[in-house]
Amino acid sequence: MIAYLRKNGKDMKRPAVFLDRDGTIVYDRPGHYLTDPERLRIYKGAFQALKIMSALGYRLIVVTNQAGIGRGYMTLKTSVAINLKLRRDLAAKGVFLDGIYFCPHLPDEGCACRKPGPGLIKEALKHHRIDLSRSVVIGDKTCDMKLADSLGLASILVKTGHGRSELRKRPGLAGGRAVKKGLLEAAAWIKGLG
Ligand SMILES: [Mg+2]
């Protein structure tokens, strides 16, 4: 589903950074779903990192699993409000997202959009002119990395959020991808891609 879509008109084809939200852009406390827009906290380095990626020509697209909706922890409306708060807080500091796509389903619902399924990215491809071959996925969980792998995209595992514990559980997760402290280091890595 779409929480936000920026109108780009017939903009040229550009690569995208597909960004996980919780634990990647905003703080994610283990065991606590973010269910209140007022509790949204963006990582300090995220503003500069996203500005760098945007200046490099990447579209900024958030792709996020929000099973808390399916679990009844929050309504669809609240989830959208949280995403719009993210958009607003970033925009207030000069960072403009191109889209926010979310999956509201439970893991066992068999939907096509829950990461690591490619549904959210496929939806984004309908709305934006994206050069998929040069695009990158950034996230803190195994599902984000599997999503990148299934589409043959470059990926960056950030150690914020669940990143560190995911690496401890699955050391093999680091193979074939960049592992970075957080979004700011991820942005520097992307800059190095040329
Ligand atoms: Mg996450």
Q: What is the pLDDT of residues 39-57, one digit of tens each?
A: 999 999 999 999 999 999 9
Query: Does the structure show a pLDDT above 70 at 107?
Result: yes
Give me ligand 1 centre to Cα 8, in Å: 27
Give me ligand 1 centre to Cα 167, in Å: 13
CA angle 61, 187, 91 (to 5 degrees): 50
Strands, E assignment, the chain: 2-5, 16-19, 59-65, 99-103, 136-139, 154-158, 178-180
Query: Does the structure show a pLDDT above 80 at 65?
Result: yes
Active site residues: 20, 22
Share of the chain above pLDDT 70, in %: 98
- Specify the CATH class of 2-6+16-192 in words: alpha beta
How does pLDDT run across 137-183, given as a tens digit for each residue? 999 999 999 999 999 999 999 999 999 999 999 999 999 999 999 99
**pTM for this structure?**
0.96
Give me ligand 1 centre to Cα 63, in Å: 10
Cis (ω within 30 of 0) for the bond into 15? Answer: no
Give me ligand 1 centre to Cα 28, in Å: 7
